[in-house]
């Protein structure tokens, strides 16, 4: 879907804007298949969609943007596809972090990072350190991430800490991957699937959901604006009448 200046009018002026938007970026492979292209080309197109989405979210004043970039289940994909994704990860972090830094974005990561090669871990550390003081937008890349695994890791961390006394939500939350980040207000999934696929299971308990039929490489300003417009028209009750 092409972006246009007119699409900006879809954003609800003066209405409710989510503080934290989370996105399941789905549909890269199917986008490529429809065009008779290798899946890795779909992932490359997905990177471009991510770049424009980060810029647009920042310009709108969205404070936190988290994206499901690589799940714990993605290791099961074909070796060639996994290696292609690792290559894209290296390319993006090396080539784009400076640009994100100049535009005021803080880059963060959530997931079991120890599973990645040392060179990627070094790039991740450098990216987080370079952008640590930025305040325009926090971009959280969820990589080797699984919601169930996060909860298990939080429980293990709680046990290791020797905590005594009641285990409350606040106590457990302190052991999640990113405890200082507010829960997603709006969770978007592209690609036409109606599930969240193990993403932010604890954190999304009261999130609003928006499902888009658009494949991720075609996601842009207009579709993000539609999601925000849908969110603005909802009343969040958190279980109240």
CA angle, 28 as apex, 24 and 30 as ends, to 5°? Answer: 115
26 flagged as catalytic: yes
Distance (Å, whole) CA 128 – CA 107: 5
Cα–Cα distances (Å) from 113 to 10, 47, 105, 131, 160, in that order, read 38, 20, 21, 18, 19
Pick the catalytic residue: 3, 55, 59, 74?
74
Contact call for residues 21 and 65 (beta carbons, < 8 A)? yes
- Tokens representing 131 are 């952008």
Pick the catalytic residue: 26, 138, 185, 218?
26
16 flagged as catalytic: no
Task: Please name every residue paired with 187 in a beta bridge, in sequence order, or none if there are none.
Answer: 22, 209
Q: Would the CA dihedral through 208, 178, 145, 103 be positive or negative?
A: positive
Contact call for residues 132 and 108 (beta carbons, < 8 A)? no
Catalytically active residues are 26, 74
């Amino acid at each position: 879907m092409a972006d246009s200046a007119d699409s900006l009018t879809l954003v609800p002026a003066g209405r409710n804007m989510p503080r934290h938007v989370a996105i399941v970026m789905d549909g890269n492979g199917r986008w490529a298949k429809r065009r008779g292209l290798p899946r890795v080309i779909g992932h490359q197109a997905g990177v471009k969609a991510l770049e424009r989405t980060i810029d647009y979210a920042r310009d709108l004043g969205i404070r936190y943007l988290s994206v499901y970039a690589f799940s714990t289940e993605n290791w099961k994909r074909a070796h060639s596809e996994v290696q292609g994704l690792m290559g894209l990860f290296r390319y993006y972090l090396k080539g784009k972090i400076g640009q994100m830094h100049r535009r005021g974005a803080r880059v963060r990561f959530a997931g079991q990072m120890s599973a990645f090669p040392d060179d990627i871990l070094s790039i991740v550390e450098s990216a987080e350190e370079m952008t640590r003081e930025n305040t325009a937008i926090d971009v959280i890349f969820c990589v080797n991430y699984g919601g169930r695994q996060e909860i298990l890791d939080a429980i293990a961390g709680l046990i290791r800490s020797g905590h005594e006394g009641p285990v409350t939500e606040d106590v457990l939350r302190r052991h999640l991957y990113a405890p200082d980040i507010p829960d997603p207000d709006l969770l978007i999934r592209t690609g036409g699937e109606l599930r969240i696929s193990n993403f932010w299971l604890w954190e999304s308990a009261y999130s609003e959901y928006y499902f888009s039929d658009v494949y991720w490489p075609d996601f842009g300003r207009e579709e993000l604006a539609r999601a925000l417009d849908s969110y603005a028209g909802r009343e969040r009750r958190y279980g109240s009448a």
